[in-house]
A = this chain, B = another copy of it.
Amino acid sequence: MKARVTIYPRPEVLDPQGKAVHQALTRVGFDGVNSVRVGKSFDIELKTRSQPLAMKQLEAMCDKLLANRVMEVYEIEILGKAGK
């Protein structure tokens, strides 16, 4: 089972990295950008083939390690059964 976990700063948290990327894009001429937020992405391959079990494991991983709940939120997406 392959999954993708995406972690972003909470919307109310200032994202200086996103701001810096936005500015850099503008500087090189991409002026059609309204906003940029920068997050982390984790592609995780799990042994289990059960989707509910996978979700449960991934949530636990996020809460325990991957995300810092003080300032981050996460999304989990199951990508496919087989390690594609």
By a beta-carbon cutoff of 8 Å, the part of chain A in contact with chain B is 4, 6-8, 18, 21, 24-25, 28, 30, 32-48, 57, 60-61, 64-66, 83
**How many identical subunits does the complex contain?**
2
Which one of B47, B64, B65, B83 lies within 8 Å of A32 (CB-CB)?
Answer: B47
**Inter-chain contacts of A6 with B (CB < 8 A):** 4, 6, 41
Which B-chain residue is minimally distant from A60 (CB atoms)? B30
What are some 28 contacts across the A-B interface (CB < 8 A)?
Answer: A4-B6, A6-B6, A6-B41, A8-B43, A18-B42, A25-B61, A28-B64, A28-B65, A30-B60, A30-B61, A32-B46, A32-B57, A33-B45, A33-B46, A33-B47, A34-B46, A34-B83, A35-B44, A35-B45, A36-B42, A36-B44, A36-B45, A37-B42, A38-B41, A38-B42, A39-B41, A39-B42, A41-B41
